[in-house]
Amino acid sequence: MELKTGIRNSRELTVTEDMTAASAGSGGQPVFSTPHMVALMETTAWASVEPCMEEGKSTVGTHLDIAHLSASPVGAHVKSESELIEIDGRRLVFKVSASDDAGLIGEGTHERFIIDIEKFMARTEGKLK
């Protein structure tokens, strides 16, 4: 698969108790948490380009600009969608969104950088020395 703008992906889930703001510590209400929505968006984007990566390469998230627009209750069906809209060297920019059966619940952009896994992990683990 060739890395090019226009690559799309989607992921779906059903909101469970352990995905709520109350459970995640991001609020007190039993609704789909912002951290879980963002993680779903990030996973959707990451998974869309992972098949395009050469051996030993992957991507890491570096920036999020996300609005959480509407709450979703436990039991709601949530769908996340991503589209790769820009490639600037190793920087990838995605348009991301999430919706439940009642409509849009979140949207924004997400940036990822292409990394060499071995070098990235060596630098990261070097922080412990």
Active-site residues: which are they? 34, 42, 68
Tell me, what DSSP letter sits at residue 126? G
Under 8 Å between Cβ of 96 and 109:
yes
In the sheet that holds 8-14, the strands lie side by side as 8-14, 77-88, 91-100, 103-116, 57-68
Query: Cα–chain-centroid distance for residue 1?
Result: 20
Phi, psi of 113 (to 5 degrees): -120, 140
